[in-house]
Structure formats: structure tokens, C-alpha cells
Structure 1
């Protein structure tokens, strides 16, 4: 746990934009060449399905995901998956606030930022037009293709949510379906509120799929229980395209497990902690803090 004190800053407009690109930064100790076109096309096809390489040069490679069609008012076209050339990584833009919430890589974080001097950036384009579940699975498939194409990658950083993972944790996971997006594309953050016994847990990353992030403002409950609850609710919202209406209730927590006998009320509010975004605030009944 970090003991650093941060200020609430809802003027910070740097946060991810709803529906914005799913940006993956792969970090390396040494420069890496762009894999050859045939290999990239084969690995993309293996993980994503029908793909077509529409650009390939020293600067970038682009693939059309032919099974994933983005529809717009004036037409439709396949979602594009872009991989940039290897570039220098200076480790800038990672302030103490972001670093404090990299829970999956705490022990290796400083070493990674010290040793990795190169990066390859990959992103989806036009994917905001897809249904949330389809995009979540496509982005997870894309990640798995990248992990195979770049075996010397040391770590993955997910810009939309601020998560950092060792590459081996990305390659060895046993998660299936849309929960892969929740694992890598959604960060559950934890804060102590200074001068009080209150805690705040929220998520970042759901807005990439135009789904609500979650927020819990509470006291006197094990925060790990609340973290697990947040991941479970995020998964439920993604799987069912957010069926939760303002004022409805969801199962609460007893002894660390979700419990039907306890109901927590949900309402849509603005986030208490940056980035500025709408959240689904979950009122934890007798454990709730703050006014709503």
C-alpha cells in the first residue's frame, strides 16, 4: 500500500474518453523488428479469425478484422487493428498517482520502468461502433495475438485503465471469454480517505466499452471483499450489456461472498476521484460513507 497523499482532481481531463481506443503498450529491454507480414497475418488469423493485412511497412502494420464489422450512418467497414514500429520508451507520463494503482506488478514495476527502454504500441480503430461484448472479446483476442508475436516482450501496459502486467502473466492466464477484458482492461483502484476511516474503491476502463465504471465509498469492511465484488459486478455488466437501472439493487457481500439476503442500492453519479466520468455508485448500506 502506498502512503502517499493524493489530491482529488476532477479538473483532470487526461482520463480515457468513453469509447476511446484500446491502447496496448508492449515494453522491451532491446529493440525488436516488426515481425514479417506472413507471420503476422497467420497469428492474427489464428486468434482473431478472418483478417486481411491492408498495410505493412517499416512504420506500422494494419489488419482488418473481417468478422467484426463497425456500422456507421454512412456505411460499414471492418474494425482495424494497428501495430506500430518499435520506438524508444522514456517512461514519461507515469505519475505517482498512476503508479500507486498498478496492483498487478508492484514488485517488478520499478525494474520494468528502469530496464525497458523500447516499446511497441498497438491499438484498435473503429471498434467503438461494436457491441460491448464483441469489442471486449476482439480486444482480448488481439492481446493474445500480440503476446505470441512478440516473445521478448517484458511487460504490457494498458493505457485505458492504468494496469501493468508482466508479459508472462498475460501469456499464462487461464481466463476465458469476456473476463479476459475485465482482467487486463479494467482496473479496480483502492484509496484511503485521509483523516477518516473511509475507503473508496472504483473501476477505470469500463467506459472504453461505453459501460459504467463502479464506485464504492465505505468503511468497516475488508477492502479485498469489495475489490472482488467490483470485478464480479463489472463482469456481470459486460456480459449482460448493463441491465442495472438507477435505483435498483444488487447482491451485497457477507463474509467475503456475494449474498442475496443483502441488497445494495445503485445510482448513477459523477466519479469522486479522477478521471472525471460517470459511475454506478453502489451504496453499501450500513457500511456506506458520505452523502448520496
Structure 2
């Protein structure tokens, strides 16, 4: 597995509200106790305005110092209520909520849920603790939309809660755990013809937990089939840990295809290490196509 600075990023989820929420700290703590016994306020007070939390289980010794993961809830206003422009990329990739635009556009307030100094946690536990806290918050003070910023997608709150209850043993199957994005690339440099129209399918959600995400830059293939392959590869990592190695190959869409993997920097943000899936000629695209086929791409 590659060393990756992406796993040091904070894990962030935003809860959107039409009206300003009154955050019930004590109620959130009560609900968290049922999900993660020991979860407690950092200031030791159930009724204070300080919304910072800790858990005694998630403490590590780093450089001779005891460093524990912390979780916080911050109240913020949405900068431009009703303006969906900043959220259009996420709305386009929100496969689980087709009509999210209406709810998101009506919201003016948000609670930002974030973990800090949590990169030493086991990935699954880190994901699950965030899921637990988000669920506890929206049970205590229901929101109108969830923006799972770590995976850049919007979720319908009721669907999130309903699904979370059914995947307790496999938190990666809950909505928001990871996303598989589909993007079209139009042109390189001065090229804008049909031959320069490629696509990128990539996963988002493993990198922030310390694992490599996946990407495939291709042309001439059905993006739905590539999306399914990337989805299955990401699912394998959650269930069994990273297994693919640099240079390793696996069967493509059909048994006659051999697709190779290699570690690369992600083409699309956020910056992170990925396992790049090379579908080979004539399907590979971008700089890889230029090198493999001897074609100069500006």
C-alpha cells in the first residue's frame, strides 16, 4: 500500500437546514451512547455550548504523546443560500438522490461535522464513528439534506438513517461511505474534436481513510460498465483491504481483455494516491494513450 498524505485530511460531513437548528448536545450524547459507549464531551459538560467530543478507545501514542481522535460540530451559515453553483459537481454525482436540488436550494444553515487527529484510527472504525455521529445528530435535530463532503455527494436524510440500520456490520455499504464519479473530458490543449472526448471514472472515499482510491481514464467503452468495475474494486478494499499491486493485471469487461494497475496521483481532485486501471489500446486515454500509441497530446 502506498504512503498517502490524504489520510491526514479531516473527514467532513455537512448537514443542511432550512431553518436555524438548535443543537441539543445532551440528546446527541444520549443517542451516541447507544451506538458508541464512552463517547463524551471534551469539556465534561452535557449542557455547555462547546460541541467537541472524544472517545477513550480512539487514542494513540504519537511521538511519546497521547493523541486522541476528536469530533466537533460547528454551526455555520450557507454562504450563498439558493445558489447551487458551488454544489453542482456534487449534485451531478449524487446517484442516490435524483431530486436533491430542491431541498439543497432551500437551505440557509448548516452544521459541519468533522473529525480531527483521526488518521491513526482503523479506516472502518473511522467511517463508522462519523456515521454514528451524523445519525445521532439528525435524529436529535432532523436536517433537510446531508452533504457527505468526504465523498462529494448529497444524501436524503431518511434514506441514510434507514439504510444505516441495516448495514451495522458493513458500514461501507451505507449511503455516503464512498462514491463512484463519472466525468467527461473534452479536449486537450487546442484539441476539441470528437476524438479527444474521453471519460474518467474514479472512486472517492477510500483516500481520506488512508487507502488508495481507483480511477480509469478511457474512451470507447460503456461508462456504466467501468463504473461497476470501479465500484466492485472499491468494495473489495473495504471488505478485504487493498490487494492489488503496482503492475498487477486482472480481466477486463470480457475474458480476452487484460487490464493493468499502477499507482498514480489522481487526475481529478481532491489530491490523493489512486490505483489507476489501464484498459489498454484502443481504450486507454489521455497521456497514457499518447505514450502507449506514440501519439503526441498537447
Q: One fold, TM greater than 0.5? A: yes
Gaps of 5+ in 1: 1-15
Gaps of 5+ in 2: 187-193, 289-298
Give the alignment partner of residue 144 of structure 2, picking from 132, 154, 171. Answer: 154
Whether 2:284 is the aligned partner of 1:288: answer yes
Q: CA RMSD in A?
A: 2.7
Give the alignment partner of residue 187 of structure 1, picking from 179, 202, 206. Answer: 179
Give the alignment partner of residue 114 of structure 1, picking from 105, 108, 118. Answer: 105
Distance in 2 separating the partners of 1:182 and 1:200: 24
Change in Cα spacing, 1:140 to 1:97, as seen in structure 2 (3 Å) is: closer
1:239: how far off?
3.2
Deviates more, 1:118-127 or 1:184-193: 184-193
Distance in 2 separating the partners of 1:101 and 1:44: 30
Whether 2:268 is the aligned partner of 1:273: answer yes
Task: Provide TM-score, normalisation by structure 2.
Answer: 0.78
User: What is aligned with 1:237?
Assistant: 237
Distance in 2 separating the partners of 1:192 and 1:172: 33
Give the alignment partner of residue 131 of structure 2, picking from 126, 131, 140. Answer: 140
User: What is aligned with 2:167?
Assistant: 175
Contact in 2 for aligned 1:25/1:158 (Cα 8 Å)? yes
- The alignment partner of 2:231 has SS state of helix
Deviates more, 1:281-290 or 1:19-28: 281-290
1:169: how far off?
1.9
Distance in 2 separating the partners of 1:130 and 1:251: 34
Distance in 1 separating the partners of 2:17 and 2:228: 31
1:161: how far off?
2.3
Structure whose CA Rg is larger:
2
Contact in 2 for aligned 1:71/1:77 (Cα 8 Å)? yes
- The alignment partner of 1:103 has SS state of coil
Contact in 2 for aligned 1:139/1:181 (Cα 8 Å)? no
User: What is aligned with 2:228?
Assistant: 228
1:116: how far off?
0.7
Q: When the two structures are aligned, how many residues end up with a matched partner? A: 268
User: What is aligned with 2:63?
Assistant: 73
- The alignment partner of 2:230 has SS state of helix
Question: Which of the two has greater strand per residue?
Answer: 1
Per-residue CA deviation, residues 57-100 of structure 1 (Å, 9 max, x unaligned), is: 6643222122222331223344222122x432234781544443
